[in-house]
Amino acid sequence: MLATSAAAHTWHPEAEVDMPAQQTVLVVGGTGRTGRRVIQQLLGRGVRVRAIVRSSSKLPPEVAANPDLTVVEASLLSLPDEELQRQLRGCDAVISCLGHVLDLKGVFGPPRDLVTRATTRLCRAIEALEPEPPIKLILMSSVSVHRPRALDPRRGAPERAFLWLLRGVLPPARDNQRAADFLLEKIGPNNARVPWVVVRPDSLLEGEVSEYTLHESLVNTLSAPGSTNMANVAHFMCELVTSPKTWADWKGKLPVVVNAAASPDTMPKAA
Protein backbone atom coordinates (compact mmCIF):
# COMPACT_ATOMS: atom_id res chain seq x y z
CA MET A 1 0.00 0.00 0.00
CA LEU A 2 1.39 3.41 -0.87
CA ALA A 3 1.49 6.23 1.64
CA THR A 4 0.19 9.63 0.60
CA SER A 5 0.05 12.93 2.45
CA ALA A 6 -2.57 15.67 2.15
CA ALA A 7 -0.37 17.47 -0.36
CA ALA A 8 0.53 14.40 -2.36
CA HIS A 9 -1.50 12.42 -4.86
CA THR A 10 -0.44 9.07 -6.25
CA TRP A 11 -1.20 8.00 -9.80
CA HIS A 12 -1.49 4.37 -10.72
CA PRO A 13 -0.90 3.80 -14.42
CA GLU A 14 -3.76 1.31 -14.55
CA ALA A 15 -6.17 3.91 -13.15
CA GLU A 16 -9.13 4.66 -15.35
CA VAL A 17 -8.62 7.53 -17.80
CA ASP A 18 -11.44 10.05 -18.21
CA MET A 19 -12.56 10.31 -21.83
CA PRO A 20 -14.65 13.41 -22.43
CA ALA A 21 -15.75 14.51 -25.93
CA GLN A 22 -12.91 14.80 -28.45
CA GLN A 23 -10.64 17.67 -27.49
CA THR A 24 -8.00 19.61 -29.39
CA VAL A 25 -4.61 20.51 -27.95
CA LEU A 26 -1.88 22.71 -29.34
CA VAL A 27 1.58 21.34 -28.48
CA VAL A 28 4.79 23.36 -28.72
CA GLY A 29 8.15 21.66 -28.20
CA GLY A 30 6.56 18.48 -29.55
CA THR A 31 9.77 17.27 -31.23
CA GLY A 32 11.59 17.17 -27.88
CA ARG A 33 12.10 14.12 -25.68
CA THR A 34 9.07 14.83 -23.51
CA GLY A 35 7.01 16.68 -26.11
CA ARG A 36 7.06 13.65 -28.42
CA ARG A 37 5.64 11.51 -25.65
CA VAL A 38 2.97 14.11 -24.95
CA ILE A 39 1.82 14.03 -28.59
CA GLN A 40 1.86 10.21 -28.64
CA GLN A 41 -0.18 9.93 -25.44
CA LEU A 42 -2.67 12.62 -26.45
CA LEU A 43 -3.29 10.85 -29.75
CA GLY A 44 -3.59 7.56 -27.86
CA ARG A 45 -6.40 9.12 -25.82
CA GLY A 46 -8.25 10.22 -28.97
CA VAL A 47 -7.31 13.88 -28.57
CA ARG A 48 -6.76 15.92 -31.73
CA VAL A 49 -3.31 17.53 -31.73
CA ARG A 50 -1.92 20.58 -33.48
CA ALA A 51 1.85 20.84 -33.25
CA ILE A 52 3.98 23.85 -34.09
CA VAL A 53 7.46 22.47 -34.77
CA ARG A 54 10.63 23.71 -36.41
CA SER A 55 11.09 20.48 -38.36
CA SER A 56 8.37 17.88 -38.86
CA SER A 57 11.00 15.28 -39.85
CA LYS A 58 11.84 15.03 -36.14
CA LEU A 59 8.45 13.52 -35.34
CA PRO A 60 8.30 9.70 -35.22
CA PRO A 61 6.79 8.47 -38.55
CA GLU A 62 3.88 6.64 -36.89
CA VAL A 63 2.97 9.83 -35.04
CA ALA A 64 3.35 12.07 -38.09
CA ALA A 65 1.01 9.76 -40.04
CA ASN A 66 -1.80 9.96 -37.46
CA PRO A 67 -4.85 11.68 -39.03
CA ASP A 68 -5.61 13.40 -35.70
CA LEU A 69 -2.29 15.28 -35.88
CA THR A 70 -1.89 18.57 -37.73
CA VAL A 71 1.66 19.83 -38.03
CA VAL A 72 2.61 23.46 -38.63
CA GLU A 73 6.27 23.94 -39.54
CA ALA A 74 7.23 27.33 -38.17
CA SER A 75 9.43 29.07 -35.68
CA LEU A 76 7.13 29.71 -32.73
CA LEU A 77 8.76 32.96 -31.66
CA SER A 78 8.55 34.56 -35.10
CA LEU A 79 5.04 33.34 -35.95
CA PRO A 80 2.83 36.44 -36.51
CA ASP A 81 0.30 37.10 -33.72
CA GLU A 82 -2.67 36.44 -36.02
CA GLU A 83 -1.23 33.06 -37.06
CA LEU A 84 -0.61 32.03 -33.46
CA GLN A 85 -4.18 33.01 -32.59
CA ARG A 86 -5.44 31.03 -35.59
CA GLN A 87 -3.62 27.93 -34.34
CA LEU A 88 -5.05 28.41 -30.84
CA ARG A 89 -8.62 29.00 -31.98
CA GLY A 90 -10.78 25.97 -31.18
CA CYS A 91 -8.21 24.44 -28.83
CA ASP A 92 -9.09 23.24 -25.34
CA ALA A 93 -5.52 23.43 -24.09
CA VAL A 94 -1.97 24.27 -25.06
CA ILE A 95 0.98 22.26 -23.77
CA SER A 96 4.52 23.64 -23.87
CA CYS A 97 7.45 21.25 -23.60
CA LEU A 98 9.92 23.77 -24.98
CA GLY A 99 13.46 23.63 -23.74
CA HIS A 100 16.84 24.91 -24.78
CA VAL A 101 18.78 22.46 -26.93
CA LEU A 102 21.57 21.19 -24.69
CA ASP A 103 24.58 22.24 -26.74
CA LEU A 104 26.70 25.41 -26.57
CA LYS A 105 24.54 27.28 -29.07
CA GLY A 106 21.27 26.15 -27.50
CA VAL A 107 22.33 26.97 -23.94
CA PHE A 108 24.20 30.25 -24.48
CA GLY A 109 22.92 31.48 -27.86
CA PRO A 110 19.67 33.30 -28.59
CA PRO A 111 16.86 33.07 -27.79
CA ARG A 112 18.00 32.96 -24.18
CA ASP A 113 14.44 33.65 -23.08
CA LEU A 114 12.80 31.00 -25.29
CA VAL A 115 10.41 29.62 -22.65
CA THR A 116 9.50 33.02 -21.16
CA ARG A 117 8.83 34.58 -24.56
CA ALA A 118 6.84 31.62 -25.80
CA THR A 119 4.79 31.53 -22.58
CA THR A 120 4.12 35.27 -22.77
CA ARG A 121 3.09 35.05 -26.42
CA LEU A 122 0.77 32.12 -25.77
CA CYS A 123 -0.89 33.92 -22.84
CA ARG A 124 -1.35 37.14 -24.81
CA ALA A 125 -2.79 35.21 -27.74
CA ILE A 126 -5.27 33.40 -25.47
CA GLU A 127 -6.24 36.73 -23.87
CA ALA A 128 -6.82 38.25 -27.30
CA LEU A 129 -9.04 35.35 -28.38
CA GLU A 130 -11.16 35.46 -25.20
CA PRO A 131 -12.28 31.86 -25.75
CA GLU A 132 -15.15 30.46 -23.75
CA PRO A 133 -14.37 28.15 -22.05
CA PRO A 134 -10.81 29.48 -21.67
CA ILE A 135 -7.85 27.61 -23.17
CA LYS A 136 -5.80 25.86 -20.49
CA LEU A 137 -2.05 26.47 -20.53
CA ILE A 138 0.22 23.67 -19.30
CA LEU A 139 3.92 24.49 -19.05
CA MET A 140 6.72 21.99 -18.54
CA SER A 141 9.23 23.39 -16.08
CA SER A 142 11.66 21.94 -13.53
CA VAL A 143 12.26 21.43 -9.81
CA SER A 144 15.01 24.05 -10.10
CA VAL A 145 12.10 26.51 -10.27
CA HIS A 146 10.76 27.71 -6.93
CA ARG A 147 7.61 29.50 -5.86
CA PRO A 148 8.19 32.92 -4.31
CA ARG A 149 7.10 34.08 -0.84
CA ALA A 150 8.40 30.89 0.82
CA LEU A 151 5.60 28.77 -0.67
CA ASP A 152 8.17 26.03 -1.25
CA PRO A 153 10.24 24.69 1.65
CA ARG A 154 13.27 26.92 2.12
CA ARG A 155 16.29 25.35 0.43
CA GLY A 156 19.54 25.07 2.37
CA ALA A 157 22.14 27.84 1.96
CA PRO A 158 24.48 25.80 -0.32
CA GLU A 159 21.56 24.86 -2.59
CA ARG A 160 20.33 28.46 -2.77
CA ALA A 161 23.84 29.64 -3.62
CA PHE A 162 24.17 26.93 -6.28
CA LEU A 163 20.84 27.87 -7.88
CA TRP A 164 21.69 31.58 -7.78
CA LEU A 165 24.93 30.78 -9.63
CA LEU A 166 23.12 28.45 -12.03
CA ARG A 167 20.57 31.11 -12.99
CA GLY A 168 23.36 33.67 -13.36
CA VAL A 169 25.50 31.44 -15.55
CA LEU A 170 23.00 29.25 -17.40
CA PRO A 171 20.29 31.08 -19.36
CA PRO A 172 17.95 28.02 -19.48
CA ALA A 173 17.70 27.85 -15.67
CA ARG A 174 16.92 31.59 -15.49
CA ASP A 175 14.47 31.27 -18.37
CA ASN A 176 12.45 28.50 -16.68
CA GLN A 177 12.23 30.54 -13.46
CA ARG A 178 11.16 33.69 -15.32
CA ALA A 179 8.47 31.86 -17.27
CA ALA A 180 7.00 30.50 -14.02
CA ASP A 181 7.31 33.93 -12.36
CA PHE A 182 5.46 35.48 -15.29
CA LEU A 183 2.53 33.11 -14.80
CA LEU A 184 2.50 33.55 -11.04
CA GLU A 185 3.03 37.30 -10.90
CA LYS A 186 1.71 38.73 -14.17
CA ILE A 187 -1.07 36.31 -15.11
CA GLY A 188 -1.83 35.23 -11.54
CA PRO A 189 -2.99 31.86 -10.17
CA ASN A 190 -6.71 32.72 -10.31
CA ASN A 191 -6.82 34.23 -13.78
CA ALA A 192 -10.10 33.08 -15.34
CA ARG A 193 -9.04 34.06 -18.87
CA VAL A 194 -5.71 32.20 -18.87
CA PRO A 195 -5.82 29.29 -16.42
CA TRP A 196 -2.48 27.50 -16.15
CA VAL A 197 -0.49 24.74 -14.49
CA VAL A 198 3.33 24.64 -14.29
CA VAL A 199 4.55 21.04 -14.13
CA ARG A 200 7.83 20.54 -12.26
CA PRO A 201 9.54 17.18 -12.90
CA ASP A 202 12.80 16.13 -11.27
CA SER A 203 15.72 14.59 -13.25
CA LEU A 204 14.21 13.21 -16.44
CA LEU A 205 14.46 9.51 -17.23
CA GLU A 206 13.51 7.26 -20.13
CA GLY A 207 11.05 4.47 -19.36
CA GLU A 208 7.37 3.72 -19.59
CA VAL A 209 4.45 5.25 -17.70
CA SER A 210 4.71 4.01 -14.12
CA GLU A 211 3.36 4.97 -10.73
CA TYR A 212 4.16 8.56 -9.84
CA THR A 213 3.29 11.04 -7.12
CA LEU A 214 2.25 14.69 -7.28
CA HIS A 215 3.18 17.27 -4.67
CA GLU A 216 2.34 20.91 -4.07
CA SER A 217 5.95 21.72 -3.26
CA LEU A 218 9.50 20.41 -3.53
CA VAL A 219 10.18 16.96 -2.10
CA ASN A 220 13.84 16.41 -2.95
CA THR A 221 16.96 18.53 -2.97
CA LEU A 222 19.34 19.23 -5.82
CA SER A 223 22.07 17.29 -4.00
CA ALA A 224 19.74 14.30 -3.51
CA PRO A 225 17.50 14.55 -6.56
CA GLY A 226 14.50 12.43 -7.38
CA SER A 227 13.65 11.20 -10.83
CA THR A 228 10.71 11.46 -13.18
CA ASN A 229 10.07 9.37 -16.28
CA MET A 230 9.33 11.62 -19.23
CA ALA A 231 6.43 9.27 -19.94
CA ASN A 232 5.03 10.18 -16.50
CA VAL A 233 5.35 13.91 -17.19
CA ALA A 234 3.45 13.34 -20.43
CA HIS A 235 0.83 11.22 -18.66
CA PHE A 236 0.19 13.90 -16.04
CA MET A 237 -0.02 16.63 -18.68
CA CYS A 238 -2.57 14.52 -20.59
CA GLU A 239 -4.54 14.01 -17.36
CA LEU A 240 -4.65 17.77 -16.90
CA VAL A 241 -6.29 17.99 -20.32
CA THR A 242 -8.72 15.11 -20.12
CA SER A 243 -9.62 14.90 -16.43
CA PRO A 244 -11.64 17.87 -15.10
CA LYS A 245 -10.87 16.78 -11.53
CA THR A 246 -7.12 16.73 -12.11
CA TRP A 247 -7.34 20.17 -13.69
CA ALA A 248 -9.42 21.53 -10.79
CA ASP A 249 -6.92 20.09 -8.28
CA TRP A 250 -3.85 21.72 -9.85
CA LYS A 251 -5.04 24.87 -11.64
CA GLY A 252 -2.84 27.87 -10.78
CA LYS A 253 -0.27 25.60 -9.07
CA LEU A 254 3.22 24.27 -9.75
CA PRO A 255 2.92 20.55 -9.01
CA VAL A 256 6.09 18.55 -8.55
CA VAL A 257 5.89 15.16 -10.28
CA VAL A 258 8.23 12.36 -9.25
CA ASN A 259 8.39 8.63 -9.83
CA ALA A 260 6.72 6.82 -6.96
CA ALA A 261 9.78 4.65 -6.41
CA ALA A 262 11.81 7.83 -5.83
CA SER A 263 9.22 9.70 -3.80
CA PRO A 264 9.75 10.19 -0.04
CA ASP A 265 6.03 9.44 0.40
CA THR A 266 6.55 5.90 -0.79
CA MET A 267 9.83 5.23 0.99
CA PRO A 268 9.58 2.53 3.66
CA LYS A 269 8.91 4.17 7.03
CA ALA A 270 11.22 3.40 9.96
CA ALA A 271 9.60 0.99 12.45
Ligand X SMILES: NC(=O)c1ccc[n+]([C@@H]2O[C@H](COP(=O)([O-])OP(=O)(O)OC[C@H]3O[C@@H](n4cnc5c(N)ncnc54)[C@H](OP(=O)(O)O)[C@@H]3O)[C@@H](O)[C@H]2O)c1
Task: For residue 252, give the 3-state DSSP assignment.
Answer: coil
Nearest to 24 by CA among 98, 88, 96, 119: 88
Per DSSP, 259 falls in state E
State the DSSP H helix or E strand holding residue 34, giving kind and residue range, or none if neither: helix 33-44
**What track of x and - describes contact with ligand X for positions 45 through 84 (by CB under 6 A)?**
---------xx--x----------------xxx-------
Binding-site member from 88, 91, 97, 241 for ligand X (CB under 6 A): 97
Considering only 25, 79, 99, 235, the residue that binds ligand X (CB under 6 A) is 99
Binding of residue 193 to ligand X (CB under 6 A) = no
Site string for ligand X, 130-149 (x = CB under 6 A): ----------x-x-------
The Cα 125–Cα 251 span in angstroms is 19
**Is 32 or 134 the residue whose CB approaches ligand X more closely?**
32
Min dist. Cβ of residue 109 to ligand X (A): 9
Q: Toward ligand X, which CB reaches closer, 105 or 149? A: 105
Asked if residue 29 binds ligand X (CB under 6 A), the reply is yes
Contacts of 7 by beta carbon, 8 Å cutoff, 6+ apart: 215, 216, 217
List the strands of the sheet with 93-96, edge to edge.
8-11, 212-215, 256-259, 196-201, 136-140, 93-96, 24-28, 48-53, 69-73
Q: Which residues bind ligand X (CB under 6 A)?
A: 29, 31-35, 54-55, 58, 75-77, 97-101, 111, 114-115, 140, 142, 172, 176, 201, 203-204
